[in-house]
Amino acid sequence: MNRGTHGDRLKPDTRIDRRAILGLLSGAVMISFSGVWVKISHVSPTVSAFYRVFFGSIFLLTAVLGKGEIKSEKIPDFLMAAGCGLAFALDLYFFHISIRYVGPGLGTILPNFEVFILAAVGIVFFREKVRLAFLLSIPMAFFGLFLIIGLHWGRMDPSYRLGVYCGLITAVCYAGFILSLQKLQSDQVGSSIFYSLMMASLASSAFLAIEIVRAGDTFRIPDLQSLIALACLGLFSQCIGWILIANALPKIRASLSGLILLLQPALAFIWDVLLFHRPTVWMNWIGVGIVLVAIYMGTVYKNRAE
CB 56 within 8 A of CB 231: no
Q: How far apart are the C-alpha atoms of 273 and 266, rounded to whole Å?
A: 11
Q: What is the pLDDT along the chain (306 residues), one digit of tens a residue?
A: 344 434 443 344 444 578 999 999 999 999 999 999 999 999 999 999 999 999 999 999 988 888 777 776 677 878 888 999 999 999 999 999 999 999 999 999 999 999 999 988 888 888 878 888 888 999 999 999 999 998 778 888 999 999 999 999 999 999 999 999 888 888 776 677 788 889 999 999 999 999 999 999 999 999 999 999 999 999 999 899 988 998 888 888 877 888 889 999 999 999 999 999 999 999 999 999 999 999 999 887 655 444
Integer CA distances (angstroms), 60 to 81, 91, 160, 239, in order? 15, 19, 35, 6
Q: How far apart are the C-alpha atoms of 279 and 134, rounded to whole Å?
A: 31
Confidence at residue 73, expressed as pLDDT on a 0 to 100 scale = 67
Give the type of residue at 219: F
pTM of the model: 0.89
Q: How far apart are the C-alpha atoms of 147 and 109, rounded to whole Å?
A: 13
Confidence at residue 217, expressed as pLDDT on a 0 to 100 scale = 96
One-character DSSP codes across 228-269 = HHHHHIIIIIIIIHHHHHHHHGGGS-HHHHHHHHTHHHHHHH
Confidence at residue 13, expressed as pLDDT on a 0 to 100 scale = 46
Q: Which residues of 118-153 are buried (b: 16+ CB within 10 A; e: fewer)?
A: bbbebeeeeebeebebbeebbebbbebbebbbeeee
Reported as half-sphere exposure (CB side, CA atoms, 13 A), residue 59 has a value of 21
CB atoms under 10 Å from CB of 41, counted, come to 26
List the one residue out of 199, 210, 188 whose CA is nearest residue 90.
Answer: 210
CB 110 within 8 A of CB 118: no
The three-state secondary structure class of 276 is helix
> Which residues does 192 contact at the CB level (< 8 Å), separation at least 6?
64, 67, 69
> Which residues does 81 contact at the CB level (< 8 Å), separation at least 6?
73, 184, 199, 200, 202, 203
